[in-house]
Structure 1
Amino acid sequence: MLPTLEEVTCLPLAKPFYIGPLLIDPPILQAPMAGFTNFAFRQIVREFGGAGLLATEMVNARGFVWLDEQEAEHPDRLWGVAEEPRPLAVQIWDNEPATLAKVGARLADEYGVSVVDINFGCPVRQVTQKAHSGSYLLKHPDRMGEIIEQVVAACTPTPVTAKIRLGCTRESINACDIAQVVEGAGAAALTVHGRTAADMFRGSADWDRIAEIKVHLKRIPLIGNGDLDTPQKVVDAFRHYNVDGVMIARASLNKPWLFAQAAAAVRGESIPLDPTLAEEKQLMLHHYELVCERFGVEKGTLLMRKFACCYAQGRRGAREFRKHVGTVITPEEFYRVVESFFPEG
């Protein structure tokens, strides 16, 4: 039987680590998630604390270049990046080394980001089959190495990192080999999601497979990702698997305070309590205000539907709330639905 949090929180379980020259403290990272980890979400996470490095949604490098050539506003996914506190990572994706290097250089020089992360893990069809990017590139280690080398050269001294999956399928797991390619090409850290591309988000993350990778890395840190939805699981990741850091993803969408709880747990401190439902409701309204500040109330209300559903997840009455909040189109409707249907118990 695994020990309880009370039994393990007497001493720190993990220490800060470096990505290049950047200190990651606490060693807990917020994962980039398309459609969710925008400025408003990052601001909520930052207010709670506990994330040693925050990240944007992944940015399509080719789309960035096209917007730049058209002298249009840069991608919405870079909303707030120039002004918000550091450290902050921006994740980019494509399959053309020169395009990724060009965008990486702009992010490092113009935006002054702390880390440029390259996505080699996204399993969705639009990225893999249509664009031959994301986890599709796990089948082409030489191409990955070329991409990383060019982005590293373009971004220096800003560190460049890579995020991968275990492989394309369970029958073709090659993360240990890919890890050596990533390190050899000059990346400053490697994050591994413990599923294959074919798994999508089904089943459980394989942390034993993640841990196997560490012995193949000589100088860069290993960050594990997958299924970390409680402080206890973060504690277990550091206690039982050979990782330097962890990355929390989907669980933070309905619990943005999870980073603070996990950081306290690994430091051996008392773990903050979950917010009350009343506090959660106010937090959601604060999130709504942040979204509307950027996109206006019309678009902001539509965008907030999915975030509002996250806040109610796992609560009694969540289904009824989701049914109603998923149709709102005006601020008045949003506030009415929140008052009438947000779970109270």
Structure 2
Amino acid sequence: MASQVNEKQHLDDGVRTLPPPPLKIGDVVVDPPILQAPMAGFTNAAFRQMVREYGGSGLQATEMVNARGFVWMDEHEAEHPDRLWGVADEPRPLAVQIWDNQPEVMAKVGKRLVDEYRVSVVDINFGCPVRQVTEKAHSGSYLLRDPDRMHEIIRQLVEACAPTPVTAKIRLGCSRDNINCNEIASVVEQAGAAALTVHGRTAQDFFKGSADWERISEIKSHLKNIPLIGNGDLDSAEKVVTAFQKYNVDGVMIARACLGRPWLFAQAAAALRGDPIPEDPSMEEQRDCMLRHFDLVVERFGAEKGTLLMRKYACCYAQGKRGARHFRTHVAKASTPAEFQSIVTEFFPLESQP
């Protein structure tokens, strides 16, 4: 059931007072109703651990997992995908996002995730706009043009995963000339999904322009019983508060803005409670946070691969700081832990932009 407005809430001239109630996805309680988005190449176990240490996210998610690749690995007795690293042992609730266009394959993987990994939520990616997923694999946001197939994927996954809830993440449509999110929302609910997340851009937009939260909010009237989660451009605690105050959503999902700021969830959660918003960590603390993140990555992937993987995170941590470009130039060349740590010591920006 969708979150119900409690006694502390009301609508006053279209503005909802805070705090919002916890979000319910099936039997999973998401409190606070702030979700960490699944992001390919970024939201691995090390990143999730950094977010967890600061707190504030009611539900975290893995990177998206290719269902067909998972099945191939399983059939060939290979190690399961790196993107499932840490999932079996992490605190709950935790969502795993999967993608493909074959209902039977998706159902098979969903059942494995529930039976073997005991995940809290299985999320379906119907929003990825990347060409390799859309045009080459006819998956992700490509499926927004095929509601019948979406319905069958969701239906079979819901049946295979029960009673674990299945959710879906979509965009507004494939293009600005073909915005069909209202129709898709009804399809998602009718197929049995327990929640819907909507990114407020079309697939054609990628990440250009601004997310359309008015469009996201309009979708709520097309849902009868499941919660609506809004996603797009939430890069501050104040914007999270505004999303709940101005728009008809039951939860919010923070994506790219958190990659170099894992403390953003804690700030947003405090703001929703009406508490003072914690200050950003000091520059030295941010640097130390990044180095702890680096240690976790190297521990899992080894010195060489871990260093290569961490370079993109390091750029995120430096974003918005004076001298970030200079730092990125150097850290992009790091190939060993010693080089990485030396570059961080010498070049990591310790001043914010004016």
Equivalent residue, structure 2, for 1:74: 80
User: Of 28, 31, 55, which aligns to 2:34?
Assistant: 28
Equivalent residue, structure 2, for 1:149: 155
Equivalent residue, structure 2, for 1:308: 314
User: Structure 2 regions of 5+ residues with no counterpart?
Assistant: 1-16
Q: Which amino acid in structure 1 is aligned with residue 163 of structure 2?
A: P
CA deviations on 1:261-315 (whole Å, 9 max, x unpaired) are: 0011011112111000000010010000000110111111111100111100010
- How many residues of Structure 1 are paired with residues of Structure 2 in the alignment? 335
- The 5 Å alignment of 1:263-302 reads 263-302=269-308
User: Of 192, 195, 219, which aligns to 1:189?
Assistant: 195
TM normalised by structure 2 equals 0.94
Corresponding position: 1:227 with 2:230: no
User: 1:38: how far off?
Assistant: 0.1
Equivalent residue, structure 2, for 1:207: 213
Q: Secondary structure at the match of 1:73?
A: coil
* Rounded Cα–Cα distance in structure 1 between residues aligned with 2:306 and 2:23: 37
Equivalent residue, structure 1, for 2:175: 169
Equivalent residue, structure 2, for 1:42: 48
Q: Which amino acid in structure 1 is aligned with residue 281 of structure 2?
A: P
Q: Which amino acid in structure 1 is aligned with residue 144 of structure 2?
A: L
Equivalent residue, structure 1, for 2:143: 137
User: 1:12: how far off?
Assistant: 3.0
User: Structure 1 regions of 5+ residues with no counterpart?
Assistant: 1-10
Equivalent residue, structure 2, for 1:100: 106
Q: Secondary structure at the match of 1:247?
A: strand
Equivalent residue, structure 1, for 2:343: 337
* Rounded Cα–Cα distance in structure 2 between residues aligned with 1:331 and 1:207: 42
User: Of 128, 131, 138, which aligns to 1:122?
Assistant: 128
Q: Secondary structure at the match of 2:173?
A: coil
Equivalent residue, structure 1, for 2:14: none
Equivalent residue, structure 1, for 2:11: none
Mapped contact 1:120–1:165 kept (Cα < 8 A): yes
User: 1:13: how far off?
Assistant: 3.0
User: 1:17: how far off?
Assistant: 1.6
* Rounded Cα–Cα distance in structure 1 between residues aligned with 2:158 and 2:350: 50
* Rounded Cα–Cα distance in structure 2 between residues aligned with 1:84 and 1:231: 26
Corresponding position: 1:85 with 2:91: yes
* Rounded Cα–Cα distance in structure 2 between residues aligned with 1:18 and 1:235: 19
User: 1:65: how far off?
Assistant: 0.2
Q: Which amino acid in structure 2 is aligned with residue 99 of structure 1?
A: V
User: 1:133: how far off?
Assistant: 0.2
Equivalent residue, structure 1, for 2:223: 217
Q: Which amino acid in structure 2 is aligned with residue 287 of structure 1?
A: H
Equivalent residue, structure 1, for 2:6: none
Provide the alpha-carbon RMSD of the alignment.
0.6
> Does 264-273 or 124-133 show the bigger shift?
264-273
User: 1:16: how far off?
Assistant: 0.5
User: 1:130: how far off?
Assistant: 0.1
* Rounded Cα–Cα distance in structure 1 between residues aligned with 2:24 and 2:189: 15
Mapped contact 2:240–2:252 kept (Cα < 8 A): yes
- The 5 Å alignment of 1:314-333 reads 314-333=320-339
Percent of residue pairs bearing the same amino acid type: 73
Q: Which amino acid in structure 1 is aligned with residue 98 of structure 2?
A: I
Mapped contact 1:13–1:239 kept (Cα < 8 A): no
Equivalent residue, structure 1, for 2:57: 51
Q: Secondary structure at the match of 2:91?
A: coil
Q: Which amino acid in structure 2 is aligned with residue 97 of structure 1?
A: P
User: 1:232: how far off?
Assistant: 0.7
Mapped contact 2:42–2:63 kept (Cα < 8 A): yes
* Rounded Cα–Cα distance in structure 2 between residues aligned with 1:237 and 1:225: 9
CA deviations on 1:16-51 (whole Å, 9 max, x unpaired) are: 120000011000000000000000000000000000
* Rounded Cα–Cα distance in structure 2 between residues aligned with 1:260 and 1:17: 17
TM normalised by structure 1 equals 0.96
Runs of 4+ in 1 over 3 A off after TM superposition: none
CA deviations on 1:151-204 (whole Å, 9 max, x unpaired) are: 000000100000000000111100010000000000000000000000000000
* Rounded Cα–Cα distance in structure 1 between residues aligned with 2:118 and 2:168: 19
* Rounded Cα–Cα distance in structure 2 between residues aligned with 1:231 and 1:321: 27
* Rounded Cα–Cα distance in structure 1 between residues aligned with 2:336 and 2:51: 26
User: Of 261, 265, 271, which aligns to 1:255?
Assistant: 261
CA deviations on 1:218-248 (whole Å, 9 max, x unpaired) are: 0000000000000110011000000000000
Q: Which amino acid in structure 2 is aligned with residue 50 of structure 1?
A: G
Equivalent residue, structure 1, for 2:10: none
* Rounded Cα–Cα distance in structure 1 between residues aligned with 2:159 and 2:273: 36
Mapped contact 2:18–2:245 kept (Cα < 8 A): no
* Rounded Cα–Cα distance in structure 2 between residues aligned with 1:252 and 1:214: 26
